[in-house]
């Protein structure tokens, strides 16, 4: 057994058994309520800067399959579980979770009361934490848990986006007919898969790619991706949206939803403990239906700030009434806060990509 410990800024200190890499990491401790999908969560760039805790008690029982990756590797800072399965049973898997974390130098801890830690987070909000596997000093960990910068003070997008433009050809019927520029703030690969599945050619560009260079690519549509951290810190993308909204059909997912609101004059705020899981109910005003969605975000759009922006709310979260979707009254622009591409999660809201495709085709 390898010693491991987790220190939280409120003074909580728990010890357990370590797995993955023998490392020391810092980050915001957040919880995910999904029963499956730990590979997708671990590789989701939106978790950069965070220590991820799963509420489901047994994690790792179906191993790791590279086909489920949402990026080129693990993006979380650390991993917290109640019980780790070291002997998976699944014909698809290539390695177990312990080896997976070791391969990306990410530490994990098991044998802790994740239920108690989740209840604490729900009461007091997401808190800063330190995770150590191997040798550690309790007092130094607790001190650093308090003194480390908060997630609102860190620039994370630059660490998880592409550095140079990258083109991906569309597939299936009508492939290559339309060109889409996808502004990468920390894209999940499932989003790219949904776009190219509809025949769209996708060009990934960095979050700070100048709007004039995007115009030179002559796109038929622009897509703003998900990503980590505080949307107010992603100023280059906000300026791009300001410059190009209305000139091209535009859509945004998750962080992209928040960036659109900020670009057009709205505001965002930090949620107490965020929405992370595959069971969030969303009501769509256009159809009157309720969809179950996969979500991962710690910030939200302030609905009261949207007056004068031209944006109207199209969907809300039925748990806390926060904004889950918007559209512009006068220009071709739609957004959602959740992840319609799932990965993991229900497929209820794949239609969002059909709506974007229709906008591109009509344009």
Q: How far are the Cα atoms of 87, 126, 173 from residue 347, in angstroms, in the given order?
A: 29, 28, 21
CA distance 159 to 147: 22
> Which residue is catalytic, options 254, 275, 303, 324?
254
SS3 content of the chain, % helix, strand, coil (to 5): 25, 35, 40
23-32 burial, b for 16+ CB within 10 Å, e for fewer? bbbbbbbbbb
Active site residue 254: yes
139-169 burial, b for 16+ CB within 10 Å, e for fewer? eebbebbeebeebeebebbeebbeeeeeebe
> Quick one: which H or E segment has residue 101?
helix 97-103
**Long-range contact list for 181-184, CB < 8 A, 24+ apart?**
181/205, 181/214, 181/217, 181/219, 181/221, 181/222, 181/223, 182/222, 182/223, 182/225, 183/207, 183/209, 183/214, 183/222, 183/223, 183/224, 183/225, 183/237, 183/240, 183/256, 184/225, 184/227
Q: How far are the Cα atoms of 14, 157, 283 from residue 288, in angstroms, in the given order?
A: 46, 35, 7
For 65, residues 6+ apart whose C-beta sits below 8 A from its C-beta are 39, 90, 92, 93, 94
Active site residue 216: no
User: What tokens were used for 201?
Assistant: 């050619």
DSSP of 26-59? EEEEEEE--SS-HHHHHT-GGGTTEEEEESSSEE
**Nearest Cα residue to 160 out of 17, 58, 43:** 43
User: What tokens were used for 239?
Assistant: 């300026």
Active site residue 328: no
Sign (positive/negative) of CA torsion 221, 227, 231, 237? negative
**Active-site positions?**
254, 339, 341
């Amino acid at each position: 057994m390898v010693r491991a410990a987790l220190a939280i800024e409120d003074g909580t200190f728990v010890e357990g058994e370590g797995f993955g890499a023998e490392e020391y990491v810092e980050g915001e401790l957040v919880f995910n309520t999904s029963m499956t999908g730990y590979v997708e969560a671990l590789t989701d760039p939106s978790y950069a800067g965070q220590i991820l805790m799963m509420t489901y008690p047994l994690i790792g029982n179906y191993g790791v399959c590279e086909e489920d990756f949402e990026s080129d590797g693990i993006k979380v800072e650390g991993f917290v579980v109640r019980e780790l399965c070291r002997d998976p049973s699944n014909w698809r898997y290539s390695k177990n979770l312990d080896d997976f974390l070791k391969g990306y130098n990410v530490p994990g801890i098991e044998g802790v009361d994740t239920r108690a830690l989740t209840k604490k987070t729900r009461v007091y909000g997401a808190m800063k934490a330190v995770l150590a596997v191997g040798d550690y000093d309790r007092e130094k960990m607790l001190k650093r848990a308090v003194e480390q910068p908060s997630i609102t003070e860190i620039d994370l997008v630059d660490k998880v986006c592409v550095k140079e433009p990258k083109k991906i050809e569309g597939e299936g019927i009508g492939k290559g007919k339309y060109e889409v520029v996808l502004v990468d703030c920390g894209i999940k690969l499932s989003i790219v898969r949904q776009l190219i599945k509809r025949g769209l050619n996708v060009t990934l560009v960095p979050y700070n790619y100048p709007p004039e260079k995007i115009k030179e690519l002559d796109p038929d549509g622009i897509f703003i991706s998900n990503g980590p951290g505080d949307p107010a810190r992603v100023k280059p993308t906000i300026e791009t949206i300001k410059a190009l909204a209305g000139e091209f059909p535009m859509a945004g997912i998750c962080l992209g939803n928040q960036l659109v609101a900020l670009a057009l004059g709205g505001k965002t705020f930090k949620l107490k403990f965020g929405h992370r899981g595959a069971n969030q109910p969303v009501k769509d005003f256009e159809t009157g239906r309720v969809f179950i969605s996969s979500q991962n975000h710690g910030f939200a759009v302030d609905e009261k700030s949207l007056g004068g922006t031209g944006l109207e709310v199209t969907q809300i979260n039925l748990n806390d009434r926060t904004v889950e979707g918007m559209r512009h009254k006068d220009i071709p622009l739609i957004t959602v806060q959740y992840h319609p591409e799932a990965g993991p999660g229900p497929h209820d809201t794949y239609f969002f990509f059909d709506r974007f495709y229709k906008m591109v085709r009509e344009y």
